[in-house]
Amino acid sequence: RGRGLARALCREVLSFARERGFGAVVLSTSMVQVAAQRLYEGQGFRRVGASSPSLLGTILHFQIFHYRRDLGAR
């Protein structure tokens, strides 16, 4: 933690996808992974939705957040 590895890996994934012609990168993370949410949002991802993983998840109000980063010009 704190060494910038996650940010560097995220930038590498975005570069990899862009170089191969992908239009966007999508990912999901749980509502309790706040550090991951901050990382993704800091890298330009925007939350595009949320869902519950199961009936139990719905009862417990547990959500999975869905993110998207369009890969236009750098």
CATH of the domain at 41: 3.40.630.30
Express each pLDDT in 14-71 by its tens digit.
Answer: 999 999 999 999 999 999 999 999 999 999 999 999 999 888 888 888 999 999 999 9
Domain count, the chain: 1
> pLDDT band at 2, cuts 50/70/90?
confident
Reported for 19-25, long-range contacts at CB under 8 A and 24+ positions apart, including other chains, are: 22/71, 23/70, 23/71, 24/68, 24/69, 24/70, 24/71, 25/68, 25/69, 25/71
